Amino acid sequence: MFVMLLSACLLVLRTSGLAQLTEDEKNTIDIVKRTQNSVVYVTNIQLVRDFFSWAEEQIPRGTGSGFIWDDQGHIITNYHVIEDGDLFSVTLPNQDQRQAKLVGREPAKDIAVLKIEGSLKDLYPVKIGLSDNLQVGQKVIAIGNPFGFDHTVTAGIVSALGRSMPGVGGVTIKEMIQTDASINPGNSGGPLLNSAGELIGMNTMIISPSGASSGIGFAIPVDTIKKIVPQIIKYGRVIRPGLGLTYLPDNYAQQLDIQGVIIYSVPAGSEASKKGIKGLTRGRLGRIVIQDIIKEVDGKKVNSFDDLYNLLDNYKIGDTVTLTLERNGQKRKVQLTLVQSD
Chain centroid to CA 81: how far? 10
- Nearest Cα to 326, choosing from 238, 269, 256, 267? 256
Please state the φ and ψ torsions of residue 125, each to the nearest 5 degrees.
Answer: -60, 145
Which sign, positive or negative, has the C-alpha torsion 314, 317, 320, 323? Answer: positive
What residues act catalytically? 80, 110, 188
Judge whether 127 and 199 are in contact, CB under 8 Å.
Answer: yes
Residue 114's nearest CA partner among 148, 65, 59 is 65
